[in-house]
Amino acid sequence: MSQTTKENLLLFGATGYIGTYITEQIVANKSSFGKIALFTSANTVEKKTDVINKLKSASVEVIVGDASKKEDVVKAMQGIDTVVSAVGRTAIAVQIDWIKWTTEAPSVKRFFPSEYGTDIEYNAESANEAPHQQKLKVRKALREAQNLVHTYVVTGPYADGRNGTFFGFNPARAELGGFDVKGKKAVLTGDGNGKISLTGLVDVGKLTVKALLHPEATKNKALKVNSFTTTGNEIVAEFEKQLGEKWDVSYTSFERLRELEKEAYARKDPAATIFTLRRLWAEGGTLYEKRDNDLIDANDMETLEDAVRASIKAQQSS
């Protein structure tokens, strides 16, 4: 594929949680790409009819099949240059098969696996963290794939007000930290002054598009990008400023975070990985000496003010 040739894209997980934002931004920039296709299940087509029809009206080709069947996936890959995956955590491992199957679709040269979160190779301890295990196997498969180049879009936690994101709040797990717009209260980790790198959901899509359009700068790279870096105390101050009210703030120590995490795994809590991620974020596992936004011309990103405004809207409408 020459520098002037527009890439044909195949998207997996395109209508999922983070995939929706990635797909929206790819479609918004469709003039920069060749064919845009998404692979999805018959069940998704049935349950998300409006979404699928909207994508079709935007000239996105919808390919229906079984992602676990080699013949279906290989057929969908024919004529495709780049695969972009945004599958959810429970489907991470299936990407290993897709990577292997690209050998039967010679046009496929680039692969973006489902990352869009915490850096799973941040330091030596990263290899032992429970939430990282399947993604680490995917990275290993990509490094061994001689027919592919890859890009890992590493964004850190999401700056969004819904439950499960950094700006969200779950009363059942309040000690893990969060921001409760309706209750006007926040739980911060440590002393609230630890820095954290965050990315807005729309920016995840924008950053993925930028990475796609800078193939040389992102070749075989873990691209560490974000919207902004801030602290818990600064986030609270912005919520108070925008809402015009003082918030009740409490704190969870790092030691307590580790206790909560250990207890979650001991009781086999299905959400135990969230405890680990919260602990990693609190301990600075999203910070880098230098972010890679410059490499892909992506410095015009969401601000803390933007993120807080979006979070207020998300929580007030929920």
Domains (ranges, CATH) in the chain? 9-156+198-226+289-299 (3.40.50.720)
Q: Which amino acid is at 288?
A: Y
Q: Give residue 29's pLDDT.
A: 97
Question: Catalytic residue numbers?
Answer: 135
Distances (CA, A) of 106 to 45, 75, 142, 211: 28, 12, 15, 22
CA-CA distance, 67 to 166, in Å (whole number)? 31
Residue 75 makes CB contacts below 8 A (sequence gap 6+) with 65
**Residue 68 clears pLDDT 50, i.e. is over it:** yes
Range 29-49 average pLDDT = 97
> Residue 318's pLDDT band (boundaries 50, 70, 90)?
confident
Answering whether pTM is above 0.85, one says yes
Q: Give residue 289's pLDDT.
A: 87
Q: Identify the residue whose tokens are 């405890």.
A: 275
Range 122-147 average pLDDT = 96
Q: Give residue 71's pLDDT.
A: 98
Q: Give residue 4's pLDDT.
A: 60
Range 220-226 average pLDDT = 97
Q: Give residue 162's pLDDT.
A: 72
Phi and psi at residue 90, in whole multiples of 5°? Answer: -75, -15
CA-CA distance, 24 to 91, in Å (whole number)? 21
CA-CA distance, 101 to 84, in Å (whole number)? 15
Among 55, 80, 50, 75, smallest CA distance to 65 is for 75
Q: Which of 28-32, 37-41, 157-161 has the lowest average pLDDT? A: 157-161
Mean pLDDT of the chain: 95
CA-based Rg of the chain, rounded to a whole angstrom?
Answer: 20
Q: Is 58 helix (H, G, I), strand (E, B) or coil?
A: coil
Q: Give residue 2's pLDDT.
A: 41
